[in-house]
Amino acid sequence: MAEVLLFHHALGVTPGVEETAQVLRDAGHVVHVADLFEGETFGSLEEGVDHAEELGFGTLLERGRAAADRLPPGLVYAGTSLGVLPAQALAQTRPGAKGAVLLEACIPVSEFGDEWPAEVPVQVHGMDADPFFAGEGDVDAARELVDASQDAELFLYPGDRHLFTDPSLPSYEPEAAALVVERVVRFLDGIR
């Protein structure tokens, strides 16, 4: 059983984020959902990103750290899109991290330190033609992470949808999302 701290995407804690957390709980893991937006949700990616920029990425990172500080060490940090920012930062810098699951985004490792911690396994998932993941350099950052890490996997799915893993959104892609869940559950099952 792994204990996971899950960070939402730019739309906030949508029903789909909660559903994903529940699927992982049903698979036998403890999942905490951090709310970086303090209850606010948005109807479009643009509105959510504008809100995140208004708050500032430093504030989002601090809120992520505060959520982690309320929990014991030994967590797997997971995030979707915008939520990868605090998930990756914590996985790279918080002592005791057990793993990371980065969905639909990846940040260059150099943003949070010199290298990825050798003892922290990581999975990165994204669509190969997603304009955000593939078009803004995230897939390149993911490839660099995989090349530099001892225990990293990159999974690319055919398609151009962003937020394809959230079952409450029109961008949801059921077949790819089911494969993501299968791979993430297998990853979490292997956490010790």
Look up residue 1 and give its DSSP letter. -
> Where are the chain's structural domains?
3-189
Nearest to 138 by CA among 82, 56, 55: 82
Tell whether the model's pLDDT for residue 64 goes beyond 90. Answer: yes
Tell whether the model's pLDDT for residue 120 goes beyond 90. Answer: yes
Please provide the average confidence, as pLDDT, over all residues in the chain: 96
Tell whether the model's pLDDT for residue 150 goes beyond 90. Answer: no
Q: Which residues pair with 6 in a beta bridge?
A: 33, 78
DSSP result, 66-93:
HHHHTS-S-PEEEEEGGGHHHHHHHHHH
Q: What is the mean pLDDT of residues 88-94?
A: 97
Tell whether the model's pLDDT for residue 109 goes beyond 90. Answer: yes
Could you give the CA distance from residue 44 to residue 48 in angstroms, rounded to a whole number? 6
- At 18 the pLDDT is 98
Tell whether the model's pLDDT for residue 66 goes beyond 90. Answer: yes
- At 114 the pLDDT is 86
Are 60 and 35 spatial neighbours (Cβ–Cβ below 8 Å)?
no
Which CATH superfamily is 3-189 part of? Alpha/Beta hydrolase fold, catalytic domain (3.40.50.1820)
pLDDT tens for residues 126-147? 999 999 999 999 999 999 999 9
